């Protein structure tokens, strides 16, 4: 790969350079992220902080004694999922899981609240009827958007992110919206007991198997992390005893002015931001997550086409087609480590027929964009790890990170670059990345189960 990159046209090299991050730049990301975390936890700074550091009211992790059946919902990625989770003792087989995925049409993702919640509850009703369930069950709701939680079952939606925009829900309690939608149907009997973010759900579901899991990380459609923080460090909450999981909402990092990403953001990031559903928001997320990486690549390719570096004979309008390069396509393109014939046929299928030289450029662009994404994600994680290590006053910390998200799971290099970056930037932390096998919905069921335990 290196030899191919070395022979690129200087104009291409120039563009690719704007995606290269030095170690100093990554250290700056860590410093700024840590300042934002501190601000987000403080009483005074919380309003200005771009990293919101939201209390989740999850104060412990699973202990293996969870019992009973729960319905769990998972909303926030590309699909909506309904699960039936049953926890039994290890001798009875531990956890049992049945689940079904439903799609959410774009007009529902960007429509009115009543439509969205009725659609969700409609899917739940279909699921329960297929499973022949009629008894009243407790429900845990994984809702992957920033919420101001007042308790486990009260969560005021602060704003939408990713591909969702249902304005009349903002400022409302999402648990209440779900309860009302359940009541609108006479045939459902469910008790909504807890709402969790997907990061929290992932941490909990991994912690069910690995007690050392104290961080949850998502790198999928969006990106975010949560971790266990000591109560005495959460200045904005009363009480000093024990710990609480904090949903960082790190995707919003960079949208503030004080500790920003301004030195790193390039012209292509700015274009992707302007073209997005929520301009000016979620800057870190737009440089890292699956919903946006393809669009960055597309903008770079357009720029190179305009400079006459690639795709001679292809209409510019073709390259302007919305979402022509998806992050999934990048994964496929970057998987070709040989003669690039796979890249050639992928581009042909997209209506972009070209020669091997262009394939080299396209692959180099994808590699540069995904490498930067993984490095930035690694720097964010290093900030969390170093904070936790220092808070504990230890020189060496062993910890597990529970991870979920398609980009992490399916991209050919992302997870390795992320791990290498964390190893370099948080050298005193020995990190085990534990890929979550279950949906973060299982975590919501575990949180729901915790409300029954005492």
70 phi/psi in degrees, rounded to 5: -140, 145
Check if the beta carbon of residue 422 is closer than 8 Å to that of residue 436: no
Is residue 254 a contact point for ligand GLC (CB under 6 A)? Answer: no
Rule CB under 6 A: choose which of 146, 163, 290, 441 binds ligand GLC. Answer: 146
Which among 34, 52, 81, 372 is annotated as catalytic?
Answer: 81
75 phi/psi in degrees, rounded to 5: -120, 130
| Residue whose CB is less far from ligand GLC, 153 or 198 | 198
Tell me which residue has tokens 């990293």: 51
What is the spatial distance between Cα 179 and Cα 121, in angstroms, rounded to a whole number?
Answer: 10
In the sheet with 137-143, reading across from the earlier edge strand, the strands are 95-103, 79-87, 68-75, 137-143, 190-196
Is residue 269 a contact point for ligand GLC (CB under 6 A)? Answer: no
Strands 243-247 and 223-230: antiparallel
**Residue 80: CB minimum distance to ligand GLC, A:** 13
| Residue whose CB is less far from ligand GLC, 219 or 352 | 219
Which H or E run includes 206?
helix 198-207
Strands (DSSP E) along 309-364, which ranges?
A: none
Residues 277-306 that bind ligand GLC (CB under 6 A): 285
Q: Within 10 A of 179 (CB to CB), how many other CB atoms are there?
A: 18
Is residue 380 a contact point for ligand GLC (CB under 6 A)? Answer: no
Residues 218-247 that bind ligand GLC (CB under 6 A): 218, 220, 222-224
Is residue 199 a contact point for ligand GLC (CB under 6 A)? Answer: yes
| Residue whose CB is less far from ligand GLC, 32 or 363 | 32
**Residue 67: CB minimum distance to ligand GLC, A:** 28
**Nearest Cα to 329, choosing from 369, 302, 271, 357?**
369
Rule CB under 6 A: choose which of 50, 142, 144, 406 binds ligand GLC. Answer: 144
| Residue whose CB is less far from ligand GLC, 77 or 113 | 77
What is the spatial distance between Cα 440 and Cα 93, in angstroms, rounded to a whole number?
Answer: 20
Is residue 406 a contact point for ligand GLC (CB under 6 A)? Answer: no
Residues of the chain by 3-state class (helix, strand, coil), percent to 5: 45, 20, 35
Q: Write the binding mask 64 to 93 for ligand GLC: x where contact by CB under 6 A, - elsewhere.
A: ------------x-----------------
Q: Is 81 a catalytic residue?
A: yes
**Residue 344: CB minimum distance to ligand GLC, A:** 34
- Size of interface with ligand GLC, in residues (CB under 6 A): 17
In the sheet with 54-55, reading across from the earlier edge strand, the strands are 54-55, 243-247, 223-230, 213-219, 397-404, 429-435
**Residue 7: CB minimum distance to ligand GLC, A:** 38
**Residue 289: CB minimum distance to ligand GLC, A:** 7
Task: State how far the alpha carbon of 30 is from the alpha carbons of 139, 228, 234, 386, 408, in Å.
Answer: 37, 19, 20, 9, 20
Instruction: Report, in angstroms and rounded to the nearest whole number, the Rg of the chain calculated over CA atoms.
Output: 22
Is residue 145 a contact point for ligand GLC (CB under 6 A)? Answer: yes
Rule CB under 6 A: choose which of 56, 196, 197, 375 binds ligand GLC. Answer: 197
Rule CB under 6 A: choose which of 214, 229, 243, 249 binds ligand GLC. Answer: 249
Q: What residue number has its CB nearest to ligand GLC? A: 222
210 phi/psi in degrees, rounded to 5: -135, 105
Is residue 251 a contact point for ligand GLC (CB under 6 A)? Answer: yes
Which among 198, 273, 358, 438 is annotated as catalytic?
Answer: 198
Check if the beta carbon of residue 186 is closer than 8 Å to that of residue 201: no
Rule CB under 6 A: choose which of 66, 198, 229, 269 binds ligand GLC. Answer: 198
Rule CB under 6 A: choose which of 81, 162, 281, 411 binds ligand GLC. Answer: 162
**Residue 75: CB minimum distance to ligand GLC, A:** 10
Residues 89-118 that bind ligand GLC (CB under 6 A): none
| Residue whose CB is less far from ligand GLC, 128 or 418 | 418
Q: Is 144 a catalytic residue?
A: yes
| b/e 211-240 (16+ beta carbons within 10 angstroms → b) | eebbbbbbbbbbbbbbbbbeeebbeebeee
Which among 144, 276, 289, 450 is annotated as catalytic?
Answer: 144
| Residue whose CB is less far from ligand GLC, 285 or 438 | 285
Q: What is the 3-state secondary structure (H, E, C) of 92-115?
A: HCCEEEEEEEEECCHHHHCCCHHH
What is the spatial distance between Cα 292 and Cα 326, in angstroms, rounded to a whole number?
Answer: 8
239 phi/psi in degrees, rounded to 5: 100, 140
SS3 390: helix
**Residue 77: CB minimum distance to ligand GLC, A:** 6
What is the spatial distance between Cα 5 and Cα 16, in angstroms, rounded to a whole number?
Answer: 10
**Residue 160: CB minimum distance to ligand GLC, A:** 8
**Residue 165: CB minimum distance to ligand GLC, A:** 12
Q: Which residues bind ligand GLC (CB under 6 A)?
A: 76, 144-146, 161-162, 197-199, 218, 220, 222-224, 249, 251, 285
Catalytic residues: 81, 144, 198
């Amino acid at each position: 790969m290196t030899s191919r990159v070395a022979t690129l046209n200087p104009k291409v090299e120039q563009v690719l350079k704007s995606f290269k991050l030095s170690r100093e730049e990554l250290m700056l990301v860590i410093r700024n992220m840590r300042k934002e975390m501190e601000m987000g936890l403080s009483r005074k700074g919380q309003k200005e902080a771009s990293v919101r550091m939201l209390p989740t009211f999850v104060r412990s992790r699973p202990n293996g004694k969870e019992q009973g059946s729960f319905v769990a919902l998972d909303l926030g990625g590309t699909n909506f999922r309904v699960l039936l989770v049953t926890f039994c003792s290890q001798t009875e087989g531990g956890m049992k899981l049945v689940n079904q995925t439903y799609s959410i049409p774009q007009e529902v993702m960007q429509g009115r609240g009543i439509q969205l919640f009725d659609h969700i509850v409609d899917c739940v009703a279909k699921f329960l009827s297929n499973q022949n369930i009629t008894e009243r069950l407790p429900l845990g709701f994984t809702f992957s958007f920033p919420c101001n939680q007042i308790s486990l079952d009260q969560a005021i939606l602060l704003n939408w992110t990713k591909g969702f925009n249902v304005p009349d829900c903002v400022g409302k309690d999402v648990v209440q919206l779900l309860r009302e939608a359940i009541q609108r149907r006479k045939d459902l009997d469910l008790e909504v007991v807890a709402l969790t973010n997907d990061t929290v759900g992932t941490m909990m579901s991994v912690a069910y198997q690995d007690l050392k899991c104290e961080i949850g990380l998502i790198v999928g459609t969006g990106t975010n992390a949560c971790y266990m923080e000591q109560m005495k460090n959460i200045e904005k909450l009363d009480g000093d005893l024990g710990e609480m999981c904090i949903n960082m909402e790190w995707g919003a990092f960079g949208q503030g002015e004080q500790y920003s990403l301004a030195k790193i953001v390039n012209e292509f990031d700015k274009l992707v931001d302007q073209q997005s559903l929520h301009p000016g928001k979620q800057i870190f997320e737009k440089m890292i997550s699956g919903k946006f990486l393809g669009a960055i690549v597309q903008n770079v390719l357009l720029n190179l086409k305009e400079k006459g570096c690639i795709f001679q004979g292809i209409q510019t309008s073709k390259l302007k087609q919305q979402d022509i390069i998806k992050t999934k396509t990048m994964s496929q393109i970057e998987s070709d480590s040989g003669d690039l014939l796979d890249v050639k046929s992928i581009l042909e299928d997209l209506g972009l027929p070209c020669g091997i030289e262009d394939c080299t450029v396209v692959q180099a662009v994808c590699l540069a964009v995904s490498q930067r994404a993984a490095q930035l994600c690694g720097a964010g994680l290093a900030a969390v790890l170093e904070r936790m290590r220092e808070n504990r006053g230890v020189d060496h910390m062993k910890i597990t990170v529970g991870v979920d998200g398609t980009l992490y799971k399916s991209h050919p290099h992302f997870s390795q670059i992320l791990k290498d970056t964390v190893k370099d930037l948080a050298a005193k932390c020995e990190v085990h990345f534990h890929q979550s096998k279950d949906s973060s919905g299982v975590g919501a069921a575990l949180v729901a189960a915790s409300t029954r335990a005492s």
